[in-house]
Amino acid sequence: MIVRDAELWDVPALFELAERFHSEAAPGFPLPDPLAIYQTIIETKAIPDLCCFVAEETVVTGFLTGAAARPPHSFKRVAGMTMFYVDPKHRGGKTYSMLFRRFMEWCHASGARVVSCGSISGIKEERFGKFLERAGFRKAGDTYMKAL
């Protein structure tokens, strides 16, 4: 398995995974749109503060997106995971940890001093929380969502 930057030819596979994410996620998430995925990949190529990684065996089995920025009150950069999804058939294997490791390498390279990760999807939240704790993260609040 390899973890690499997403490429435009990944759009069909990423759309399929995004549809699976949507079917598992808590209500309120927007429906996936292949044009949005295409745009995301283009933006991650053009804007160094954005990332989109895929895990690939013979097919794409997971993806992770993130961003880094300076918060309004500090010059120290903060990185955050914006989406992380692994095909259910590949959970519990190396896909999860390899995608996460690649994201953390990107966070360091981007100059981030703090990394924020969490689950707002409702998918395996407790399990993901334990994964983050094993990686050295600590719980820091709650997240609430409202569809507009």
3-state SS of the chain is CEEEECCHHHHHHHHHHHHHHHHHCCCCCCCCCHHHHHHHHHHHHHCCCEEEEEEECCCEEEEEEEEEECCCCCCCEEEEEEEEEECHHHCCCHHHHHHHHHHHHHHHHCCEEEEECCCCCCCCHHHHHHHHHHCCCCCCCCCCCCCC
CA atoms within 13 A on the CB side of 117: 23
Structural Rg of the chain based on CA atoms: 15
**Per-residue confidence in pLDDT tens, the chain, 148 aa:** 899 999 999 999 999 999 999 998 888 788 999 999 999 999 999 999 999 999 998 899 999 999 999 999 999 999 999 999 999 988 888 998 999 999 999 999 999 999 998 777 777 788 888 888 999 999 887 777 666 7
pTM: 0.91
